[in-house]
């Protein structure tokens, strides 16, 4: 049962990264891809109806994590106290930037919120990447199952690391570049003309960097935590995951340069999913490895909720997930196609 | 109280108090918007549609702030209250996760459709999207109340070997009798905020002499709804909630009423300041035997006072609890009086000309917010010193490794952030109100936006 919930939580987090990833990415390229008020409105229009629903995946994943692995939630959230609070502030700023910008037709007002939207999107991408880096690298868990990480120590990957060390900073940059390309491809799908052209260009420029960083991050992960190879060696089928990752990268550049934006976007989504699944595959059954003593690591066995609760939860979760999927399909069909600026909404 | 505990308590108290200013209005407005949409569908009158859109714009701004200030609430269970989460996550994780799966997805998906989709949908389909937003908002409320109700009156759990509690009965958790009454009382409170907001803005338009037709509709709907829910707030919901406290948390009742001595024929304190040091009420105005009657329906019934309980289970801030409770009840009584008089005038056809009453309605807007906040303070301070009543103390629940300094750093950060959000909110709502219900400008990103006049 704990394994099932491990998979569910991983799927929900992946869904969050893929979905909110494209609107974060749209925020990262926002200032560069669109010039002038009309074009900026096009970008906001492209993510307007969906970004809030995408962010709900974070909340729902958080709630499910809390329910299925309360020990992990307790240890992880209190240990990552400072970066999580910063993430919260950034999420707030970003929501306010998107939603309040359009309430006044004033260039100073809009310029201010444009900047807020851009900077919070970029920093969130970096922080989410660094967060994943922290989970893979492990944290200084004590015997009581808790830890507290400062924002940085000496930037080395030692037994008492900070949130930011060279490895997690690299993970943050991987996330930034990946989501930039992801968002650019989404914007390309949703727009026409100049904005579409610029967005595709950004995705193509990102590509070599993304390839390089993917290779670097895989190598660095193996260097920092050699045990990540264990699951792959025990179950060689796992090697399909990196194959998928690189295949997706290839399809991405091929499709983007041919102008097949939808194919490229799907490839980018699968690339992100592949990277996350690859990390999760390496970690299992650990959910939060200890950098101090491997015996202190949190695993699905020592951090899961009670058996009865998990079984009951499976029933309602399935129902909830089917409903949520239904809404999503419905909403995306409703707002499919290119953005036009002729009036809708009020 | 050591300072880290104090900081973590203030952290949660501050963020949750600010947060709840927004959901109480969205939950309160949601059914009223459905009423407006229904009338629009029925009478084909554009005033109803314009009114529904106007309140949807106000709803939208509140919803954004409700969401962004709500995310920190979920996070804080882990960040600031990790020992509590480890202890109780196996139980309350159920209701919190269900809120995400059943309410948030529904609400966010259909709010987008409701705000952006009127031109794409048929009138009937658009009506359904309003209903879905209403259901999502009210479901969300239930899961949160069920979580709090478990902390007030833990049921359906079992202790396990590692010292934590785990779910034993899902249905007991979800159908906790405490949750039903607390939910009814809370939602009625939210509806009062929604009704007063509507009546207040309507009264403002009538006094201003603009948007008369909309103003009359807002006042009428606000007063009718306000009257219904103000009465429901007292009876049966408030009464049942009070007797639930008396039954499950007698020491809390004694502290709420500042009843220091046990005895038959306990009086009800209307006004007075609790003097905990000397175990008495200063400057009291009392109604003899009333507390006995309200609690047990007998004038001579014995009510337990604080002296019947050891001091280590007394709520740790009795004066604040007492004032919160009395402010809530006092304001609730005033609401009933205002709304009954207004309804009488409405019935006689004199309300729209009675400027004095319109002034009262307009100025009464802040008070439901105060009453709702005071009500939650009564519930949460009343539960002290327990985090989970009778099982787990607040002092054991906070994150021991998050120092007071780090907690204060983020508390100050939230205070600054929320000050800015609060100013932006007031600024934007003021613009909406000034532009009025007839502005129909289409918005760039589809976000509600008023016309520039």
Residue B440: band (very low, low, confident or very high) from pLDDT cuts 50, 70, 90:
low
CA distances from B344 to B196, B217, B428 (A): 16, 16, 34
Residue B102 CA to its chain's centroid (Å): 20
Residue B417 has pLDDT above 70, yes or no: yes
Please state, in angstroms and rounded to a whole number, the distance separating the CA atoms of residues B268 and B257: 7
Across the interface, whether the CB atoms of B100 and A62 are under 8 A apart is answered yes
More confident position, B10 or A110: B10
pLDDT for the residue numbered A1: 84
Identify which of B368, B301, B385, B371 has the alpha carbon closest to the alpha carbon of residue B329: B371
What H or E segment, with its residue span, contains residue A278?
helix A261-283
Across B133-145, average pLDDT: 94
The answer to whether B443 faces chain A, any CB pair under 8 Å, is yes
Chain B residues within an 8 Å CB radius of A97 = none
Which residue in chain A is spatially nearest to B448 when comparing CA positions?
Answer: A346
Is CATH 3.40.190.80 what the domain over A2-334 is classified as, yes or no? no
Residue B443: band (very low, low, confident or very high) from pLDDT cuts 50, 70, 90:
very low
Q: Which of B413, B446, B453 to mutate to test the interface with A (most CBs of A within 10 A)?
A: B446
Chain B residues within an 8 Å CB radius of A62 = 74-75, 100
Across the interface, whether the CB atoms of A96 and B112 are under 8 A apart is answered no
Shortest Cα distance from B434 to chain A (angstroms)?
Answer: 13
Percent of chain B with pLDDT over 90: 84
Residue A315 CA to its chain's centroid (Å): 27
pLDDT for the residue numbered A332: 76
Chain A residues within an 8 Å CB radius of B410 = 81-82, 85
The answer to whether A254 faces chain B, any CB pair under 8 Å, is no
Across the interface, whether the CB atoms of B113 and A334 are under 8 A apart is answered yes
A93, A127 in Cβ contact below 8 A?
Answer: no
Q: Which of B54, B75, B92 to mutate to test the interface with A (most CBs of A within 10 A)?
A: B75
Which of B100, B158, B445 is closest, CB to CB, to A44?
B445
pLDDT for the residue numbered A345: 41
Q: pLDDT (tens digit, 9 = 90+) per residue, A70-81?
A: 999 999 999 999
* A171 Cβ contact partners less than 8 Å away, ≥ 6 residues apart: A129, A130, A132, A133, A136, A217
**Phi and psi angles of residue A139, each rounded to the nearest 5 degrees, phi first:** -130, 160
State yes or no: ipTM above 0.95.
Answer: no
Residue B55 has pLDDT above 70, yes or no: yes
pLDDT for the residue numbered A161: 84
Across the interface, whether the CB atoms of A345 and B446 are under 8 A apart is answered yes
Q: pLDDT (tens digit, 9 = 90+) per residue, B191-245?
A: 999 999 999 999 999 999 999 999 999 999 999 999 999 999 998 999 999 999 9
Residue A150: band (very low, low, confident or very high) from pLDDT cuts 50, 70, 90:
confident
The answer to whether A11 faces chain B, any CB pair under 8 Å, is no
Q: pLDDT (tens digit, 9 = 90+) per residue, B96-119?
A: 999 989 998 888 888 888 887 888
B327, B285 in Cβ contact below 8 A?
Answer: no
Q: pLDDT (tens digit, 9 = 90+) per residue, B305-355?
A: 999 999 999 999 999 999 999 999 999 999 999 999 999 999 999 999 999
Burial of B196 (0-12, 13-18, 19+ CB in 10 A): buried
Across the interface, whether the CB atoms of A327 and B118 are under 8 A apart is answered no
Chain B residues within an 8 Å CB radius of A67 = 89, 93-94, 96-97
Across the interface, whether the CB atoms of A53 and B90 are under 8 A apart is answered no
Residues 259-318 of A with CB under 8 A from B: 305-306, 308-309, 312-313, 316-317
A9, A277 in Cβ contact below 8 A?
Answer: no
Shortest Cα distance from A126 to chain B (angstroms)?
Answer: 19
Across the interface, whether the CB atoms of B440 and A346 are under 8 A apart is answered yes
pLDDT for the residue numbered B453: 33
Shortest Cα distance from B111 to chain A (angstroms)?
Answer: 9
Q: Which of B89, B156, B433 to mutate to test the interface with A (most CBs of A within 10 A)?
A: B89
Across the interface, whether the CB atoms of B82 and A78 are under 8 A apart is answered yes
Residue B58: band (very low, low, confident or very high) from pLDDT cuts 50, 70, 90:
very high
B164, B88 in Cβ contact below 8 A?
Answer: yes
Percent of chain A with pLDDT over 70: 97
Q: pLDDT (tens digit, 9 = 90+) per residue, A129-138?
A: 998 999 998 8
Shortest Cα distance from B137 to chain A (angstroms)?
Answer: 14
Residues B299-338 as b/e (b if ≥16 CB within 10 A, e otherwise) read eebebbbbeebeeeebbbbbeebbbbbbbbbebbeebbeb
Across A261-277, average pLDDT: 91
Q: pLDDT (tens digit, 9 = 90+) per residue, B32-51?
A: 999 999 999 999 888 999 99
Chain B residues within an 8 Å CB radius of A187 = none
Chain B residues within an 8 Å CB radius of A79 = 401
pLDDT for the residue numbered A104: 79
CB pairs under 8 A between A and B: 265
Residue B448: band (very low, low, confident or very high) from pLDDT cuts 50, 70, 90:
very low
Across B156-167, average pLDDT: 92
Across the interface, whether the CB atoms of A331 and B109 are under 8 A apart is answered yes
Across the interface, whether the CB atoms of B447 and A48 are under 8 A apart is answered yes
Shortest Cα distance from A71 to chain B (angstroms)?
Answer: 5
In eight-state DSSP terms, residue A156 is S
pLDDT for the residue numbered B1: 59
Across the interface, whether the CB atoms of A316 and B74 are under 8 A apart is answered no
Please state, in angstroms and rounded to a whole number, the distance separating the CA atoms of residues B425 and A155: 40
Residue B444 has pLDDT above 70, yes or no: no
Q: pLDDT (tens digit, 9 = 90+) per residue, A236-246?
A: 998 999 999 99
Shortest Cα distance from A254 to chain B (angstroms)?
Answer: 32
Which residue in chain B is spatially nearest to A53 when comparing CA positions?
Answer: B108
pLDDT for the residue numbered A340: 64
Residue B451 has pLDDT above 60, yes or no: no
Residue B449 has pLDDT above 60, yes or no: no
What is the separation, in whole angstroms, between the first and last Cα of chain A?
47
Across A203-224, average pLDDT: 90
Residues 116-155 of B with CB under 8 A from A: 116-120
Please state, in angstroms and rounded to a whole number, the distance separating the CA atoms of residues A255 and A258: 5
Mean pLDDT of chain B: 92
Residue A342: band (very low, low, confident or very high) from pLDDT cuts 50, 70, 90:
low
Chain A residues within an 8 Å CB radius of B89 = 66-67, 70-71, 73-74, 305
pLDDT for the residue numbered B450: 38
Which residue in chain A is spatially nearest to B170 when comparing CA positions?
Answer: A312
The answer to whether A323 faces chain B, any CB pair under 8 Å, is yes
pLDDT for the residue numbered B177: 93
Residue B447 has pLDDT above 70, yes or no: no
B29, B198 in Cβ contact below 8 A?
Answer: yes
* A326 Cβ contact partners less than 8 Å away, ≥ 6 residues apart: none
Q: pLDDT (tens digit, 9 = 90+) per residue, A277-295?
A: 999 999 888 888 888 888 8
Residues 355-414 of B with CB under 8 A from A: 399-402, 406, 409-410, 413
Identify which of B131, B90, B236, B14 has the alpha carbon closest to the alpha carbon of residue A74: B90
Residues 18-77 of A with CB under 8 A from B: 37, 41, 44-45, 48-50, 52-53, 55-56, 58-64, 66-68, 70-71, 73-77
Residue B445 has pLDDT above 70, yes or no: no
Identify which of A311, A195, A181 has the alpha carbon closest to the alpha carbon of residue A248: A181
The answer to whether B287 faces chain A, any CB pair under 8 Å, is no
pLDDT for the residue numbered B452: 35
Mean pLDDT of chain A: 88
Shortest Cα distance from B196 to chain A (angstroms)?
Answer: 25
Which of B75, B100, B120 is closest, CB to CB, to A88?
B75
More confident position, A302 or B9: B9
Give the residue extent of every domain in chain A: 2-334
More confident position, B442 or A215: A215
Which residue in chain B is spatially nearest to A71 when comparing CA positions?
Answer: B86
């Amino acid at each position: 049962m704990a394994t099932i919930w491990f998979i569910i939580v991983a799927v929900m987090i992946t869904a969050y990264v893929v979905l909110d990833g494209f609107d974060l990415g749209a925020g990262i390229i926002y200032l560069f891809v669109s010039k002038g008020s009309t074009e900026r409105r096009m970008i906001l229009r492209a993510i307007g109806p969906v970004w809030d629903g995408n962010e709900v995946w974070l909340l729902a994943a958080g709630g499910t994590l809390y329910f299925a692995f309360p020990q992990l939630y307790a240890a992880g959230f209190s240990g990552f106290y400072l970066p999580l609070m910063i993430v919260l502030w950034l999420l707030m700023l970003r929501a306010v930037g998107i939603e309040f910008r359009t309430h006044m037709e004033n260039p100073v007002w809009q310029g201010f919120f444009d900047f807020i939207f851009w900077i919070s999107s970029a920093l969130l991408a970096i922080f989410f990447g660094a967060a994943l880096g922290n989970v893979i690298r492990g944290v200084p868990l004590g015997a009581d199952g808790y830890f507290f990480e400062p924002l940085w120590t000496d930037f080395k990957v030692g037994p008492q690391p900070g949130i930011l060390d060279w490895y997690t900073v690299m993970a943050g940059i991987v996330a930034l570049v990946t989501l930039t390309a992801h968002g650019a491809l989404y914007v390309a799908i949703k727009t026409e003309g100049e904005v579409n052209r610029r967005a595709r260009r950004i995705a193509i420029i990102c590509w070599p960097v993304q390839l390089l960083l993917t290779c670097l991050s895989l190598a660095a992960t193996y260097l920092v935590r050699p045990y990540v190879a264990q699951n792959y060696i025990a179950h060689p089928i796992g090697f399909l995951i990196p194959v998928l990752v690189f295949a997706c990268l290839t399809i991405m550049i091929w499709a983007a340069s041919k102008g097949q934006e939808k194919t490229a976007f799907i490839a980018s989504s699968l690339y992100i999913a592949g990277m996350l699944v690859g990390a999760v595959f390496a970690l299992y059954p650990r959910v939060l490895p200890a950098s101090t003593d491997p015996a202190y690591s949190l695993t699905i066995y020592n951090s899961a909720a009670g058996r009865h609760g998990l079984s009951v939860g499976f029933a309602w979760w399935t129902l909830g997930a089917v409903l949520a999927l239904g809404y999503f399909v419905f909403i995306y069909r409703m707002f499919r196609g290119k953005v036009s600026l002729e009036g809708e909404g009020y | 109280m050591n300072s880290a505990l104090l900081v973590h308590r203030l952290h949660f108290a501050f963020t949750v108090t600010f947060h709840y200013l927004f959901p109480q209005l969205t939950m309160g407005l949601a059914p009223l918007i459905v009423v407006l949409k229904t009338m629009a569908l029925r009478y084909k009158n554009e005033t109803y549609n314009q009114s529904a859109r106007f309140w949807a714009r106000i709803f939208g701004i509140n919803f954004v702030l409700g969401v962004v200030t709500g995310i920190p609430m979920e996070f804080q269970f882990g960040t600031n209250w990790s020992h509590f989460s480890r202890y109780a996550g196996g139980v309350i994780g159920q209701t919190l996760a269900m809120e995400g799966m059943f309410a948030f997805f529904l609400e966010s998906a259909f709010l987008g459709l409701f705000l952006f989709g009127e031109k794409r949908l048929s009138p009937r389909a658009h009506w359904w999207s309003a209903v879905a937003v209403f259901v999502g908002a009210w479901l969300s409320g239930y899961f949160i109340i069920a979580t709090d109700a478990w902390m007030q009156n833990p049921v359906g759990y079992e202790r396990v070997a590692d010292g934590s509690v785990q779910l034993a009965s899902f249905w007991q958790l979800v159908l906790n009798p405490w949750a039903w009454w607390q939910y009814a009382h809370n939602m009625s409170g939210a509806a009062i905020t929604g009704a007063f907001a509507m009546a207040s803005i309507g009264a403002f338009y009538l006094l201003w002499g603009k948007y008369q037709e909309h103003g009359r509709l807002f006042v009428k709907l606000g007063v009718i709804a306000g009257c219904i829910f103000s009465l429901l707030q007292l009876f049966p919901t408030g009464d049942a909630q009070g007797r639930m406290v008396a039954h499950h948390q007698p020491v809390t009742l004694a502290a709420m009423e500042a009843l220091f001595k046990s005895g038959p024929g306990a009086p009800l304190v209307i006004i007075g300041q609790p003097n905990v040091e000397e175990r008495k009420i200063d400057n009291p105005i009392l109604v003899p035997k009333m507390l006995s009657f309200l609690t047990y329906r007998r004038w001579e019934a014995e009510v337990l006072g604080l002296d019947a309980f050891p001091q280590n289970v007394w709520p740790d801030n009795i004066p604040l609890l007492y004032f919160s409770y009395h402010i809530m009840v006092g304001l609730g009584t005033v609401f009933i009086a205002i709304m009954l008089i207004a309804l009488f005038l409405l019935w006689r056809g004199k309300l729209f000309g009675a400027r004095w009453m319109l002034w009262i309605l307009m100025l009464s807007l802040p008070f439901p917010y105060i009453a709702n906040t005071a009500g939650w303070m009564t519930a949460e301070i009343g539960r002290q010193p327990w985090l989970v009543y009778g099982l787990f103390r607040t002092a054991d629940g906070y994150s021991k490794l998050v120092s007071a300094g780090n907690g204060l750093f983020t508390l100050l950060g939230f205070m600054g952030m929320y000050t800015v959000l609060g100013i932006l909110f007031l600024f934007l709502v003021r613009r909406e109100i000034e532009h009025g219900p007839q502005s129909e400008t289409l918005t760039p990103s589809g976000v509600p936006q008023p016309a520039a006049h």
